């Protein structure tokens, strides 16, 4: 009877959390609809996924435009999943929102099922933390791959745990399968799977299993890399080449790591709990004289901590706290036994209990409290800039040749030919930029390439951030579009250039007309 009551209490908590998640999503959608008339994703990257998925579903072209291959996505499996959904249900811009909501429900249910074996306090603390510390509603609403990635990583850790408990072939196959899926969603998964392999190889002496798991996990990277090379691109996605922390020299590397630590302070707080757990488990293990074989308590904490360190060194943090959201989830999973131990019974160290709650509350404030406002601002920025640019092109240049350097919405809502001066959507630019360390204006080869390509291929106009790349002298600057309170966009002001001089007056008149339709706080200026 007591077990039934506990189960009912946990189910009530589950329903309350589902209600909270639903209300958060509804509230944030309504906030955006109030100023945009529709929901706008808070990141232009969501429209990159949609554009590539649309082109693959409708034109069988894996690219940011329908005209050429481009390795623009950093999550091949998520883009492929969206392409399948578009093929089945049609091209609808809110497919990622629905898909993420389903994945979010799945993530909560996986935790719910696993947490049933622990105390009521642990159940409430961890499940609430997954929803609020991630925060789950925000990751759902980005329209990005992070909810699916987090779900896949939890399944990897669960199967790793099951394999340690029972080395049945079924458990290894499940571990290998979820490892492949996790890497397909984001390559950072390899950081953790590598240390799973290390643990199996050195601690468990499962040499063949360890090597086999590593080969399975790296399959998505090899397959996608081979396809990319066959199409003249890099082995890795363009975004990893251009945004990774591997080509800035030692000073640049250390600067990036320090920046990651600053932006990822909320995760570092959770890592403190994980380190306390590892230390406590090690201390208990040394003092234990039990001869009974047990599943090592530090196996998953070891994998999670080492994976976090490698992410800190080589991957990214920030950009609406999305890059580290999966880290929050896997750390929460790893500290479940510790939290359960801390909150069971009255004899538990009160300082440890208070400290754990305090650290979780700080993390909640940083990740949940501050982002309630940021999500609205980010969606407003994307609406004011990227959606307005997409609307402008749709009215006047929907099938034209366009030079640009922020490429999601403008390609998803149009069928333009694109020259991407950043390089995500244009491999020749990416090859010119891979060693410039973000110094756009100093890249003379890039400037010459833009000038030559725009002239030879008769491009119509350019919509660019001037601080990102210097436009050729023969381009004519016609006007600018400036947004207010920029938080998420690559620049505050986008400049409009006529590539062909004879089109200058036409572009100017189009901008004057379009300025009457933009939101009141978007400033469109004509260059005299």
E strands present in 264-423: 401-404, 417-420
Q: What percent of the chain has pLDDT over 90?
A: 84
The pLDDT-based confidence of 290 (bands split at 50, 70, 90) is low
In this structure, is residue 458 part of a structural domain? yes
CB count in 10 Å sphere of residue 434: 15
In this structure, is residue 200 part of a structural domain? no
Torsion angle of C-alpha atoms 60, 58, 405, 462, degrees rounded to 10: 110
Residue linked to tokens 């989830």: 329
pLDDT value of residue 39? 98
pLDDT value of residue 520? 94
| Nearest by Cα to 488 from 413, 407, 410, 383 | 383
Helix (H, G, I), strand (E, B) or coil at 218: coil
For the stretch 71-111, pLDDT in tens is 999 999 999 999 999 999 999 999 999 999 999 999 999 99
In this structure, is residue 514 part of a structural domain? yes
| Nearest by Cα to 18 from 118, 116, 102, 117 | 102
Residue 66 predicted with pLDDT over 70: yes
Domain boundary among 84, 119, 143: 143
Residue 248 predicted with pLDDT over 70: no
Q: For the residues 318-334, what does the mean pLDDT come to?
A: 94
CA–CA gap between residue 528 and residue 511 (Å, rounded): 13
For the stretch 443-484, pLDDT in tens is 899 999 999 999 999 999 999 999 998 999 999 999 999 999
Least confident interval from 170-179, 287-296, 407-416: 287-296
For the stretch 260-274, pLDDT in tens is 999 999 999 999 999
CA–CA gap between residue 492 and residue 511 (Å, rounded): 18
Residue 187 predicted with pLDDT over 50: yes
Q: Which tokens hold the place of 463? A: 């919509």
In this structure, is residue 133 part of a structural domain? yes
Percent helix, strand, coil in the chain (nearest 5)?
65, 5, 30
In this structure, is residue 502 part of a structural domain? yes
In this structure, is residue 239 part of a structural domain? no
For the stretch 102-150, pLDDT in tens is 999 999 999 999 999 999 999 999 999 999 999 999 999 999 999 999 9
Residue linked to tokens 């996608």: 224
In this structure, is residue 6 part of a structural domain? yes
Contact assessment for residue 390 and residue 409, using Cβ atoms and an 8 Å cutoff = yes
Q: Which tokens hold the place of 239? A: 């975004």
For the stretch 399-426, pLDDT in tens is 999 999 999 999 999 999 999 999 999 9
Cα–Cα distances (Å) from 197 to 183, 185, 303, in that order, read: 14, 19, 9
CA–CA gap between residue 313 and residue 258 (Å, rounded): 9
Round the average pLDDT of the chain to a whole number and report it. 93
CA–CA gap between residue 60 and residue 121 (Å, rounded): 51
Cα–Cα distances (Å) from 285 to 118, 263, 361, in that order, read: 21, 35, 30
pLDDT value of residue 292? 44
In this structure, is residue 163 part of a structural domain? no
Q: Which tokens hold the place of 194? A: 């590598």
DSSP letter, residue 422? S
Contact assessment for residue 127 and residue 112, using Cβ atoms and an 8 Å cutoff = yes
CB count in 10 Å sphere of residue 272: 13
- Number of residues written out for the chain: 528
Domain boundary among 110, 143, 176: 143
Domain that holds residue 10: 1-39+99-143
Structural domains of the chain, count: 2
Residue 291 predicted with pLDDT over 60: no
pLDDT value of residue 435? 79
Domain boundary among 111, 143, 175: 143
Q: Give the Cα-Cα-Cα angle 428, 429, 433 (nearest 5 degrees).
A: 125
| Nearest by Cα to 245 from 312, 188, 314, 307 | 314
For the stretch 193-233, pLDDT in tens is 999 999 999 999 999 999 999 999 999 999 999 999 999 99
Residue 437 predicted with pLDDT over 70: no
């Amino acid at each position: 009877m007591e077990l039934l009551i506990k189960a009912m209490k946990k189910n009530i908590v589950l329903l309350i959390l589902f209600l909270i998640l639903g209300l958060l999503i509804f509230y944030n959608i309504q906030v955006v609809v109030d100023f945009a008339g529709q929901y706008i994703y808070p990141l232009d990257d969501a429209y990159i996924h949609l554009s590539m998925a649309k082109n693959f579903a409708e034109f069988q072209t894996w690219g940011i435009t329908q005209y050429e291959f481009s390795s623009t996505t950093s999550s091949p499996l998520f883009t492929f999943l969206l392409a399948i959904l578009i093929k089945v249900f049609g091209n609808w811009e809110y497919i990622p929102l629905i898909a993420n909501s389903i994945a979010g429900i799945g993530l909560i249910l996986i935790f719910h099922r696993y947490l049933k074996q622990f105390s009521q306090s642990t159940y409430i603390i961890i499940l609430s933390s997954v929803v609020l510390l991630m925060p789950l509603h925000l990751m759902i609403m980005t329209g990005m791959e992070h909810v699916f990635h987090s779900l896949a990583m939890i399944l990897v850790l669960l199967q790793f745990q099951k394999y340690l408990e029972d080395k049945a072939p079924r458990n290894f196959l499940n571990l290998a399968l979820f490892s492949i899926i996790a890497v397909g969603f984001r390559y950072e998964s390899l950081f953790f799977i590598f240390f799973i392999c290390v643990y199996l190889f050195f601690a468990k002496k499962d040499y063949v299993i360890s090597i086999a798991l590593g080969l399975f996990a790296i399959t998505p990277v090899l397959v996608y890399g081979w396809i990319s090379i066959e199409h003249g691109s890099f082995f890795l996605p363009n975004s990893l080449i251009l945004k990774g922390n591997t080509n800035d020299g030692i000073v640049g590397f250390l600067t990036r790591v320090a920046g990651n630590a600053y932006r990822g302070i909320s995760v570092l707080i959770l890592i403190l709990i994980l380190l306390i757990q590892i230390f406590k488990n090690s201390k208990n293990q040394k003092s234990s004289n039990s001869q009974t074989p047990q599943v090592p308590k530090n196996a998953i904490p070891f994998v999670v901590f080492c994976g976090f360190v490698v992410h800190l060194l080589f991957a990214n943090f920030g950009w609406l706290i999305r890059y580290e959201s999966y880290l929050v989830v896997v750390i929460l999973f790893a500290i479940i036994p510790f939290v359960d131990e801390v909150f069971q019974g009255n004899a538990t160290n009160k300082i440890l209990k208070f400290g754990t709650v305090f650290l979780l509350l700080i993390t909640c404030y940083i990740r949940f409290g501050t982002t309630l406002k940021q999500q609205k601002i980010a969606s407003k920025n994307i609406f004011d800039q990227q959606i307005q640019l997409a609307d402008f092109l749709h009215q006047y240049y929907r099938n034209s040749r366009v030079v640009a350097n922020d490429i999601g919405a403008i390609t998803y809502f149009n069928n333009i030919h694109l020259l991407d001066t950043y390089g995500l959507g244009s491999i020749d630019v990416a090859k010119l930029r891979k060693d410039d360390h973000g110094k756009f204006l100093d890249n003379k080869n890039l400037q010459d390439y833009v000038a030559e390509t725009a002239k030879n291929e008769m491009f119509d106009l350019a919509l660019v951030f001037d601080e990102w790349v210097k436009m050729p002298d023969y381009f004519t600057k016609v006007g600018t579009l400036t947004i207010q309170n920029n938080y998420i966009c690559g620049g505050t002001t986008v400049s409009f250039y006529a590539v062909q001089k004879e089109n200058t007056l036409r572009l100017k008149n189009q901008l004057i007309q379009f300025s009457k339709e933009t939101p009141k706080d978007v400033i469109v200026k004509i260059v005299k």
